[in-house]
Amino acid sequence: MVSRLLRGSLRLLGSRCAPRPPPAARCSHSGAEERLETPSAKKLTDIGIRRIFSSEHDIFRESVRKFFQEEVIPHHSEWEKAGEVSRELWEKAGKQGLLGVNIAEHHGGIGGDLYSAAIVWEEQAYSNCSGPGFNLHSDIVMPYIANYGSEEQIKQFIPQMTAGKCIGAIAMTEPGAGSDLQGVRTNAKRDGSDWILNGSKVFITNGWLSDVVIVVAVTNREARSPAHGISLFLVENGMKGFIKGRKLHKMGLKAQDTAELFFEDVRLPASALLGEENKGFYYLMQELPQERLLIAELGISASEFMFEETRNYVKQRKAFGKTVAHIQTVQHKLAELKTHICVTRAFVDSCLQLHATKRLDSPTASMAKYWASDLQNSVAYDCVQLHGGWGYMWEYPIARAYVDARVQPIYGGTNEIMKELIAREIVLDK
C-alpha cells in the first residue's frame, strides 16, 4: 500500500520528494515518530503537525498539495463559469493515484488507508477549490461497488474509476425525498430477468459528467416498511431512457456539476442490481457514516483554511493607524476561532481513528458531521466579517469559502436529522 502511494507521490514531487527528517522542536510522540503539536504549529494547515499521520503520509500529502496547486487552482475560475471541471483533470488525478485511494488493490483501487484518503479530502479543502467531485466518486460511490458489487461489477467499474475514465455519482435525493430516504418514489419493476426503472433525482453531484450512477429505487411496495423494499442499481450513461437534465445553478460549489436525472422506462439487465434485492436501505445505512465523516473532514479543513486566510489578511490590513491584527476585539475573535477549530479537529481526528478500525458508529459520525459543518459556517461568517467589505467581493477566497460552506449542514442528511439520530441513541433503552 505505502509503496504504491509513494511511487505516485515521488513521480509528482520529483527531486523534492526525499523523506524529510521530523522537526525537532515542539514535537510529541506518535508511536515511534515525532509530530508537531497542532496548536503550536505556525499554520493549522502545515504538513507534519497531526499525530494520526506518518512521514509516508506527509510525502503523499506534499504530492497531493502540489497537484491541487498546479492542476486545479489555476483553472478553477474558468470551471466555475462552466459549471463543471474538465474530464482531463479526472484522468490526471487518476494517473497521480488520487482516486480510489482507500479501495483495495485487488479490487482495482490504490490500496491506501483511510488516512491517505483523508489527505485528499483535506488538501482539496485547503485549496479552496470545491469543483472536483473526487471525494464523492472515490469515497462514497466506489465503496458501494467494492463492498456490495459482484466480481464482474468490480472488474468492470473500479479500475476505470480509479483511472478517472469512469466518473461515478449516487442518486438518492428526489424532489420529494431528501433526508427521508424512505420517501423515495423512483421505482424498478421486474420484466422477465430485466428491471424497468422510472423516476427522477435531483441535486446529484457529478451528475452531469457521470458515466455510472448508483440509483436508489423502490423494488417492493408491499414490504412491511419502505426500508425493506429499496434496492440499488448501476445505471450507465447512454442507456436508453436515462436522461440528464439541466446543470443546476447553485449559490456555491459553482464548479461542481450538479444535475437533475430522469429515468424513463430504462431497461436494466439483472447484472445492474448492486448487491441483493431489497437490501439497498441496509447498504445505505452501512455507508452513510463514512459520508458524514467526509463532510465533517471537509468542514474542519475548510475552517482551518479560512482561519489562515483571515489571519494573513488582518496582519496586513491597516485601520486606525495600525494593522487590524493589533485591535483587541479582532485578537479575541481569532483566539475564539482557533480554539473552536483545534477542539473540533481533535474530535474529527478521533473519529478518523475510530473509522480506520471500523468502530465509528452512526451517532458519532452524525455528531462529527453536525458539529464540524455548523462550525464551518460560523467560521465563514466571522472570517468574512473580519475581512470587512473586501470579504464580500468574489475575487477574495473568503467569499467563495463562505458560499461553499452553506450546503454542508444540508447534504448528507440535514443537521436537524443528525440531532435526531444522536438523540435517539441517547434515550434508547438498551
pTM: 0.91
Specify whether 270 is located in the same domain as 294. Answer: no
Specify whether 319 is located in the same domain as 273. Answer: no
Decide: 340 and 379 in contact? Cβ < 8 Å.
yes
pLDDT of residue 26: 28
Q: What backbone phi and psi angles, to 5 degrees, belong to 411? A: -80, 165
pLDDT of residue 430: 72
Catalytic residue at 291? yes
Specify whether 24 is located in the same domain as 157. Answer: yes
- Active-site position among 123, 174, 260, 291: 291
What is the spatial distance between Cα 130 and Cα 142, in angstroms, rounded to a whole number? 19
Decide: 79 and 131 in contact? Cβ < 8 Å.
yes
Decide: 10 and 17 in contact? Cβ < 8 Å.
yes
What is the spatial distance between Cα 348 and Cα 416, in angstroms, rounded to a whole number? 19
pLDDT in tens, 255-290: 999 999 999 999 999 999 999 999 999 999 999 999
Q: What backbone phi and psi angles, to 5 degrees, belong to 318? A: -110, 140
Cα dihedral sign for 108, 68, 65, 330? Answer: negative
Q: To 10 degrees, the CA torsion angle through 147, 153, 155, 160?
A: -90
> Residue with C-alpha cell 487590524?
324
Specify whether 336 is located in the same domain as 372. Answer: yes
Specify whether 15 is located in the same domain as 155. Answer: yes
Domain ranges, residue 249: 168-278
> H or E stretch including 38?
none
Specify whether 175 is located in the same domain as 91. Answer: no
- In angstroms and rounded to an integer, the radius of gyration of the C-alpha atoms of the chain is 22
Specify whether 378 is located in the same domain as 238. Answer: no
**181, three cell numbers:** 430516504
Q: Of the residues 133, 162, 191, which one is the last residue of a structural domain?
A: 162
Secondary structure of 374-395 in HEC code, one letter for each residue: HHHHHHHHHHHHHHHHHHHCCC
> H or E stretch including 324?
none
Specify whether 241 is located in the same domain as 263. Answer: yes
pLDDT of residue 25: 29
Return all residues near 243 (Cβ < 8 A) that are at least 6 apart: 261, 262, 263, 264
Decide: 234 and 242 in contact? Cβ < 8 Å.
no
Specify whether 81 is located in the same domain as 229. Answer: no
pLDDT of residue 177: 83
Q: Shortest CA distance to 16 belongs to which of 73, 53, 92, 69?
A: 69
Specify whether 388 is located in the same domain as 302. Answer: yes
Specify whether 269 is located in the same domain as 290. Answer: no
**322, three cell numbers:** 495600525
**17, three cell numbers:** 520528494
Per DSSP, 209 falls in state: T
Decide: 222 and 229 in contact? Cβ < 8 Å.
yes
Q: Of the residues 162, 182, 197, which one is the last residue of a structural domain?
A: 162
pLDDT of residue 6: 59
Residues of the chain with pLDDT under 50: 15-32
pLDDT of residue 10: 55
CATH assignment of the domain containing 234: 2.40.110.10
Secondary structure of 15-34 in HEC code, one letter for each residue: HHHCCCCCCCCCEEEECCEE
Q: What backbone phi and psi angles, to 5 degrees, belong to 126? A: -65, -25
Return all residues near 429 (Cβ < 8 A) that are at least 6 apart: none
